[in-house]
Structures are given as C-alpha cells and as structure tokens.
Amino acid sequence: MSPVVRSAARSAAPAAKGSSASTSTKSPMAKGKMAPAKWLKNRTRVPGSKKIVNELLPGFSRQFGAMMSAGMPIVSALEAQEEQADHPNFKIVIRQVRLAIENGASLSEAMRQFPSIFDDLFCNMIKGGESGGQIAETIQRLAGFLESSSRLRRKVKSAMMYPTIVLCIALALAVAMIVFIVPVFGSMFSDFGAELPGPTRVLMNVSNKVRDYGLYLLVIVVGAVIGFKKWKATPHGAYSFDSFVLKTPVFGELTRKVASARFARSLGEMIRSGVPILSALDIVAGATGNLVTGRIVKQLRKSVEVGEPLSSAMANQTVFPLMLYRMLQAGEKTGRIDEMMDSIADFYDDEVETMLSGLTSLLEPLLMVFLGVVIGGIVLCMFLPIFKMGEIVSR
C-alpha cells in the first residue's frame, strides 16, 4: 500500500470511531484557513484554474480513483488529497468539496460548486458513476480521459513552441541590427562621399524610419495585439477565428483531427458512464476545442432529439471526417458506441502526433531559410559597399 493510502487509512481509522468529533475538530481550522480566499464568494472562477485543470487535475483524479478502488471512504480520500495538494487554491477547492460531502451533498453536487475546475463533463460522468454504483471505476476512466487530453495538448503546444521561438528570435535580431548596427555602418559609409548600392540605401531608409517612428510602431503593434485579443474574446470574433483556422491548408486539417479525437473520446466516456445521449452531446459540444465543431455538435443534438440516429445526422456535415461517421454507424449497429469512440479517438490521437511530427520536420528547414533570408539579407546589404570599396575609393 502506498504511503498516501497508509496515511489516509490512519486518518480514516479514528474517523470510524468518532467521525463527528473529528469533523468538528477540523472544521474550525478549515474555516480559519479559508478566510483569506476572497474568491470563495464567487466560486465560478478559481484563480489559477487553467493550471489546475491542465496539470494537477489528471493526477488528482488518478490518485483519488486509486484510493476509492482500494475501499477508502470519499471523505478520507479527499482528506489525503487535500494534505498533499501543493497549489493553495486547489487545496481550498478540495477542502470545500469535502466539507460539502460531510454536510450531505453527493460528490457530483459538491464538485459543481467549482465549474472552472470540474466542468460539466467531469461532473456528469461522476453523477453517472454514482447512479450506477461504479464511482471508483468512473473516476479512473476520468483520469485516463484527462491524461489523454493533457498529452494531446502538450503535443500540440510543444510542436508550435519551436517555430514560435525561432520567429521571435529572428524578429528580435532583425530589429536589433536595424536599430543599432545599421546606423554605425551608415555613418561610416557617409564619409565615402559616393553613391551607395540600392539595397543598402533601402536598408538605411528603413533603419532611419524605425529609429524615428519606432515608438509609434510599437504602440500600433501593441494596440493591434490587444484589439485582436479583445475581438477574439467576443462570441462573433471567436467563432470567426475558429472558422478561419478550419479553412487554412495545414492547420485546418490538424484542427479537425484534434476536434475529432476530443469529440470521440468525450462521447465514448459519457456514454460508458450512463449519461443520456442528448445530455452527452450538450456537454461534448463544449469539449471539442473549436466553436465551429461545437455548433455542429449542437445541430447533431437537434437531429437526435427528433429521432434521427446520430450517425445519420453526422453524414450531412462536412467538418468531421468520414471515418468518424463510419465508426459511429458501426457502433450504433453493434451497440458498442463507447468502444468504437475510444478506438477512433486513439486513431486520431496517433494521426495528430504523426501530423505534428511531419509539420515540425517541414518547418525546421523553412525556418532556417527564413532566418538566412532575413538576417543574411541585412548583413549582405550592410557589407555590399565594402565589397565595392575599391571602386568607390578609385572615384
């Protein structure tokens, strides 16, 4: 038995003898610790929720499910998780969930207090597990689902990080050379009294403009970035941006595969947990990671609501790939939709990984060419008059 389970078991033993005394002893201390957390007045948004969901929730679910499978009571398992939680806000969340359960709430009801941590998909799967008496198995499946989602997110993020860093470095080097190095060469060339080559004159003009109007350019760029973020935060802007991404040559296909993997895995887990298909589609619509695909899922729900099979409704859309429709159709005929969805989710996870590896391999030489053109072009423009030094001096 792991140290965590042993420590939790020791705390569970006295609880069996006098649980009311133990609860009354810990509650004042818990309330004293909770006082500084002002965000508890509005629990819909927990500070640091993004980090908690992406990095801490998968591990919490895995350990919590293991404790439940070992036969530990829910309260004792939550106490153990609370003790070992490093993130202060996540520790408070776990404590509040535990206190709600001690006051008579179910686990799913207690977790719904914090929708930014435990979303509808999480809470509905827990509720399905509670209804079927398989809460430990449901939490274990949730842990696997969260770990798969986190792994997919890390793959996409790591693949995009390299080109982003290289582009930023190239831009910083180009600006530094134009602002600081080119003027030095310009003052040196002005002493020659001869006409400079055309590329060098263009570079000098660019350098002068950047030095004279650099602050205004910076303000414009920062304003454009802030304006774009605010526009993207609006419903229309977010939908327009997601629609644009789907239409791009390479990233559109990548986005479709990521959305398909998320749709299939989420739907499979919801159905396996006993969540009704209409409720499952409502929740899955927000789990695809793209507003366009989410709207299509909501349209699928309307078709299913009037009696049309989900696979037939999916045959009329053009965003999700044909294989997803075929696998769903096979799952409906055999009554094994959850297994088919898991299989197609694994397939598209592998497809995304393969596509990201190929994209990274393709971007590396392109970035090297870009660096050579930008930085090499600036260097060539600066040294072009030196190559013609003999001609200029003879004049």
Say how far residue 347 (Cα) sits from the centre of its chain.
20
Q: How much is the pLDDT for 177?
A: 87
Q: How confident is the model at residue 379 (pLDDT cuts 50, 70, 90)?
A: confident
- pLDDT band with cut points at 50, 70 and 90 for residue 238: very high
Smallest Cα–Cα separation from 292: which of 253, 344, 341, 256? 256
DSSP class of 39: G
User: What range defines the domain where residue 100 resides?
Assistant: 3-118
72 and 9 Cβ atoms separated by less than 8 Å: yes
CATH number of the structural domain spanning residue 169: 1.20.81.30
Query: Are both 89 and 235 inside the same structural domain?
Result: no
CA distances from 346 to 156, 264, 343, 352, 384 (A): 16, 9, 5, 10, 56
Does a structural domain hold residue 182? yes
- pLDDT of 252 strictly over 60: yes
Does a structural domain hold residue 290?
yes
Are residues 174 and 94 part of one domain?
no
pLDDT band at 33 (very low <50, low <70, confident <90, very high): very low
Rounded to whole angstroms, the Cα distance separating 317 from 297 reads: 10
Instruction: List pLDDT tens digits, range 154-202.
Output: 888 887 888 888 888 888 888 888 888 888 877 777 766 667 778 888 8
Query: Are 182 and 318 members of one domain?
Result: yes
Eight-state DSSP code of residue 40 = G
- 222 pLDDT tier (thresholds 50, 70, 90): very high
Distance CA 339, CA 121 (A): 18
CATH value at residue 67: 1.20.81
Q: Does residue 297 sit within a domain?
A: yes
For residue range 298-335, what is the model confidence (pLDDT) as tens digits?
Answer: 999 999 999 888 888 888 888 888 888 888 889 888 88
Q: Which residues of 100-120 are buried (b: 16+ CB within 10 A; e: fewer)?
A: bbbeeebbbbbbbbbbbbbbb
Question: Are 112 and 243 members of one domain?
Answer: no
Angle at Cα 114 formed by Cα 110 and Cα 117, nearest 5°?
Answer: 115
State how many domains the chain has. Answer: 2
- For 42-59, the three-class secondary structure string (H helix, E strand, C coil) is CCCCCCCHHHHHHHHHHH
- In three-state secondary structure terms, 285 is coil
124 found inside a domain = no
Do residue 89 and residue 180 come from a single domain? no
194 with 58, same domain? no
Alpha-carbon distances of 181 from 162, 175, 198, 217, 383, rounded to whole Å = 27, 10, 18, 19, 12
Q: CA-CA distances (angstroms) from residue 84 to 56, 90, 98? A: 12, 11, 14
**Are 175 and 265 within one domain?**
yes
Are residue 225 and residue 275 in the same domain, yes or no?
yes
pLDDT at 132 over 80: no
Residues 388 and 284 both lie in one domain = yes
Closest to 154 measured CA to CA, from 349, 358, 365, 363 = 349
Q: Are 118 and 100 in contact (CB under 8 A)?
A: no
Q: Specify if 138 maps to a domain.
A: no
- Same domain membership, residue 189 and residue 70: no
Tokens 């239409």 — which residue? 247
Task: Tell me: pLDDT of 25 over 60.
Answer: no
Q: Write the CA distances from 39 to 43, 52, 111, 135, integer angstroms.
A: 6, 15, 16, 29
- Is residue 309 in a domain? yes
pLDDT at 321: 87
Continuous H helices in the chain: 3-34, 49-51, 57-69, 74-84, 88-102, 107-111, 120-132, 135-176, 182-190, 198-233, 235-247, 249-272, 277-284, 291-305, 310-314, 322-334, 337-387, 389-394
pLDDT at residue 211 above 70?
Answer: yes
> Looking at 67, 102, 118, which one is the last position of a domain?
118
250 and 301 assigned to the same domain: yes
Q: Which of 57, 91, 118 is the last residue of a domain?
A: 118
Q: Which among 91, 118, 145 is the end of a domain? A: 118
Instruction: Give pTM, 2 decimals.
Output: 0.71
The answer to the question of residue 316 being in a domain is yes
Q: Give which of 201, 207, 218 is closest to 179, Cα–Cα.
A: 207
Q: Please indicate, yes or no, if residue 148 is contained in any of the structural domains.
A: no
How many Cα neighbours within 13 Å face the side chain of 105?
14
What sign for the dihedral angle of Cα 254, 259, 262, 264?
Answer: negative
Can you tell me the distance from the alpha carbon of 279 to that of 282, in angstroms, rounded to the nearest whole number?
A: 5
237 and 383 co-located in one domain:
yes
